[in-house]
């Protein structure tokens, strides 16, 4: 089974499947994996959202974390903005906002965070979250013909810029050379048994596995960034964050970070 051609012309010398509806939909099934539920719960515990706050959800996908921010505050959170590369997630957010009765207090923005967050003014969010997404900030240097970490570094600086003083950035990123099997084996059998549509769920899991192989191959070229925790900590510090801490989560296949913008 091979990956379908991407639905958009690649702007860089390689396809980016994250923009594709098929990829977006496959990853919506992640929310049926128990190990993923635990990651979301751990992220929200650390995020500890409060009434009236404005939150940014980077690489929000179908909105699992955005939903959690809303539900953890009993609908009193100020607003949640989800940003993602896949336009298909807009429909998902429309349904989410309707189901929650959130109106425009939960909304989606279609965009590529590799180009930074210029659309958001300085200090426009109290806090930010991100689930297994920011590693995909990409920059290709035409001069050297190589992928670099420039977009990743710039994104961390921009998250710092859009947070208010005291704001927290709580996010997960995969460990170097993650084992998708470790994630799948932990969860798959039970998740299939509990799925309302087991065949569709299994098909999406197979697709996620294919996209997972692509992600790991690209990470080896330096395009995507599955970095050791110490390297991510150094990048956060260089971006201006303080109080950086992390835990190993997600069947030991991800780090969960919390970093603060000093007051």
What is the smallest separation between the CB atom of 58 and ligand SAM, expressed in angstroms? 7
18 makes contact with ligand SAM (CB under 6 A)? yes
131 makes contact with ligand SAM (CB under 6 A)? yes
140 makes contact with ligand SAM (CB under 6 A)? no
What proportions of the chain, in percent to the nearest 5, are helix, strand and coil? 45, 20, 35
User: Closest Cα partner for 92 from 37, 40, 21, 38?
Assistant: 21
Q: Is 62 or 167 the residue whose CB approaches ligand SAM more closely?
A: 62
What is the smallest separation between the CB atom of 214 and ligand SAM, expressed in angstroms? 12
Neighbours of 140 (CB within 10 A): 19
User: Residue 195, class by beta-carbon neighbours within 10 Å (0-12 exposed, 13-18 middle, 19+ buried)?
Assistant: middle
Q: Is 40 or 102 the residue whose CB approaches ligand SAM more closely?
A: 40
Sheet with 168-174, side-by-side order of all strands:
106-110, 79-84, 54-58, 127-131, 168-174, 254-261, 241-249
- Binding pattern for the stretch 173-202 against ligand SAM, x by CB under 6 A and - elsewhere: ------------------------------
The rounded radius of gyration (Å) of the Cα atoms in the chain is 17
- Binding pattern for the stretch 67-96 against ligand SAM, x by CB under 6 A and - elsewhere: -----------------xxx----------
Q: Where does this chain bind ligand SAM (CB under 6 A)? A: 18, 27, 30, 59-62, 64-65, 84-86, 112-114, 131-133, 136-137
């Amino acid at each position: 089974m091979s990956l379908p051609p991407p639905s958009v012309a690649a702007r860089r010398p390689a396809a980016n499947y994250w923009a594709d509806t098929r990829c977006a939909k496959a990853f919506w099934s992640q929310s049926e994996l128990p190990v993923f539920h635990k990651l979301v719960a751990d992220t929200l515990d650390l995020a500890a959202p409060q009434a009236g706050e404005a939150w940014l959800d980077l690489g929000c996908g179908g909105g699992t974390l955005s939903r959690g921010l809303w539900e953890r505050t009993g609908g009193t959170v100020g607003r949640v903005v989800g940003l993602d590369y896949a336009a298909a997630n807009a429909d998902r957010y429309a349904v989410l906002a309707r189901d929650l009765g959130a109106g425009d207090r939960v909304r989606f923005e279609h965009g590529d965070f590799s180009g930074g967050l210029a659309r958001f003014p300085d200090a426009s969010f109290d806090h930010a979250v991100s689930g297994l997404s920011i590693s995909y900030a990409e920059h290709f240097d035409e001069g050297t013909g190589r992928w670099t970490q420039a977009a990743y570094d710039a994104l961390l600086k921009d998250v710092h810029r859009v947070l208010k003083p005291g704001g927290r950035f709580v996010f997960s990123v995969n460990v170097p050379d993650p084992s998708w099997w470790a994630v799948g084996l932990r969860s798959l059998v039970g998740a299939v048994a509990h799925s309302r549509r087991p065949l569709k769920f299994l098909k999406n899991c197979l697709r996620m596995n294919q996209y997972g192989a692509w992600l790991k191959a690209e990470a080896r070229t330096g395009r995507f960034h599955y970095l050791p925790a110490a390297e991510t900590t150094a990048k956060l510090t260089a971006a201006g964050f303080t109080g950086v801490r992390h835990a190993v989560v997600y069947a030991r296949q991800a780090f969960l970070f919390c970093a603060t913008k000093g007051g």
